[in-house]
Amino acid sequence: MDIVFIRGLRVDTVIGIYDFERAHHQTLVLDLELGTDIRPAAADDDIKLTLNYKAITEGVEAFVKASEFALVETLAQRCAEMIMTEFAVPWLRLTLSKPGAMRQASEVGIVIERGQR
Ligand SMILES: Nc1nc2c(c(=O)[nH]1)N=C([C@H](O)[C@@H](O)CO)CN2
């Protein structure tokens, strides 16, 4: 399987379990690995035959910006479902980091894998 990736996608949104977190936006950082077969696109040199990382970046950015979940788990799961459905992605790994959440750590967050390789 080949991978189209998006790294360091920064999005400001409402996220968090505490009241004080609901009152302002925090920055999240997403890394995505998206499974695909790049050979058809490479053979025809045709963007329509691959995962368009511009379209997916813009779709994920809009989805995360509009979300207001409490947990990073919920956001990651919903985001994965949206990407797989909207962009016909059979497998993905999504890393969701919340860099400002803990003063003791540079980043906290989760990694999920969904779908079949
Ligand atoms: N596993 C998780 N742990 C925590 C989360 C979360 O979303 N998933 N969230 C918080 C707070 O919102 C945190 O970001 C600020 O203290 C705590 N733990």
Which pLDDT score is estimated for 117?
85
* Number of structural domains found in the chain: 1
**C-beta of 111 in contact with ligand 1 (< 6 A):** no
Q: What is the pLDDT of residues 12-62, one digit of tens each?
A: 999 999 999 999 999 999 999 999 999 999 999 999 999 999 999 999 999
Whether 65 sits among the annotated catalytic residues: the reply is no
CA-nearest residue, atom 4 of ligand 1: 71
For 58, the domain range is 2-115
* CA 34 to centroid of ligand 1, rounded, Å: 26
Is it the case that residue 77 has pLDDT exceeding 90?
Answer: yes
Q: Cα of 101 to ligand 1 centre, how many Å? A: 8
Q: Whose CA is nearest to atom 14 of ligand 1?
A: 101
Task: Output the CA torsion sign for 62, 63, 69, 71.
Answer: negative
Rounded to whole angstroms, the Cα distance separating 43 from 111 reads: 33
How deeply is 64 buried, as exposed, middle or buried, from its count of CB atoms within 10 A (0-12, 13-18, 19+)?
buried
The pLDDT of residue 88 is above 90: yes
Eight-class DSSP state of 47: G
Predicted TM-score (pTM) of the model is 0.97
Q: For residue 20, give the CATH number of its domain.
A: 3.30.1130.10
ipTM > 0.85 for the complex: yes
